[in-house]
Amino acid sequence: MHRHLEVPRQVGDFAARTPASVVTAFNRYSLEVVENVCANHYDSSSTLDALNASFGAATPVVARSITDFAERSIALKPTFALVKGSGVTVMSYWAGAQASSCPTQPQPLTWNRCVAVVPPGTPVPSSPTQVACTFAASCDAANATPPGPFTTVETAAPVIPLDRFYSFRLKPDEVADVQALIDGGGAFFANGATPEPGDYLVLVAMHVTTKELPRWTWQTFWWSPFPDDGPGGEFRTADVTGEFRNYQTCTADSMLDPAEPGDGAGGGAPSGQPVVCFNPYLETGLDPQGQFSNCMTCHQLAAWPNFSTNYQFSSYISPADPGLFDCNTKLDFLWSVTRAVPVESPAQPCSGSPSRAAWARRLH
């Protein structure tokens, strides 16, 4: 079955890498998402509190929700790494949990496989070439504040030209924005370097979700020097060419296989097996469930004002579950709504629920 998909509206010419259109923020949205939030004042905690209080005891749990986003809504979570404008930049890459100093929580800081990235104008060494691959020495080292100690290993690494990444070059007025992203501790990988004009940002990962379906579509992409290797490389056809050939992918358009009912208003939980789909750049730091997570399961739990103490990374979550949502308002799968409001004490907290601040720290 083939669907004729529409090209989404964009501001700027991304194909030409126009500087004004560069996407560097951690979360990006189409206009339809912004219009729904602004029209309904979902950026106001008092509005969300009032909406939650308006649902009476007779309101079915499945109906406790904000107004759904329009079907053209798109949400992105792009993740970048820094490549210096000259010379060789050593970058670690995902080769599975076994290629980590912390297999139970194999976040990027622990990856012990590296590539040598070469920008235009830099002499290209023979491949493989010897590099110093640096990574956190252990789980404790990766989770320390600040992280450390680190281990450096001399290893033979594949040589990767910059044109195997989606990338763009930094202009002077963009450097401060990039440094702010690095300082903010979000999903940005500086490779131990400081951004300067003429350096490159390369796309290493991105969550993509679209409201084409009532429960959105869920897909994620991550860069690999060996993109045709599985798992993650088997979905692409010969039509995917150029730098985009180097991005592996998985989808999580259901929580279970066989898929659960879409309306969520039925009785007991379906009996399928959990669908696992995670991005190694974004979920592997969640100990230990990140490697077994599912996008839809996680985002079904997005609710106001309280984060459930029964949080799950995978398996089935019903939007009609009274244990999760009988005093909460579902946010149509977008955790971002909770992050756009002031951190305040909920007006009507559920008994025994964690604080708003603790709830916010659990979001990703």
Using a 10 angstrom Cβ sphere, with 0-12 exposed, 13-18 middle and 19 or more buried, the burial of residue 176 is exposed
pLDDT at position 255: 94
Query: What number of other Cβ atoms are within 10 A of residue 126's Cβ?
Result: 6
Who wins on pLDDT, 229 or 79? Answer: 79
Residue 348: is its pLDDT beyond 80? Answer: no
Instruction: Give the strands of the sheet with 159-161, arranged side by side.
Output: 89-92, 114-118, 159-161
pLDDT digits (tens, 9 = 90+) for 106-158: 999 999 999 999 999 999 999 999 999 999 999 999 999 889 999 999 999 99
| From 9-13, 186-190, 294-298, the region with the lowest mean pLDDT | 9-13
286-292 average pLDDT score = 83
- Looking at residue 334, the DSSP 8-state letter turns out to be -
End-to-end CA distance of the chain: 34
pLDDT digits (tens, 9 = 90+) for 48-74: 999 999 999 899 999 999 999 999 999
- Looking at residue 293, the DSSP 8-state letter turns out to be -
pTM for this prediction: 0.85
Show me where the domains of the chain are located.
19-76+204-361
Using a 10 angstrom Cβ sphere, with 0-12 exposed, 13-18 middle and 19 or more buried, the burial of residue 54 is exposed
What confidence tier does 339 reach under pLDDT thresholds 50, 70, 90? Answer: low
Count how many residues are written for the chain. 364
pLDDT at position 342: 61
Cα(323)–Cα(7) distance, integer angstroms: 40
What confidence tier does 359 reach under pLDDT thresholds 50, 70, 90? Answer: very low
Residue 363: is its pLDDT beyond 60? Answer: no
334-354 average pLDDT score = 56
Cα(132)–Cα(155) distance, integer angstroms: 6
Cα(217)–Cα(74) distance, integer angstroms: 10
Mean of all residue pLDDT scores within the chain: 84
The two structure tokens encoding residue 243: 């730098």
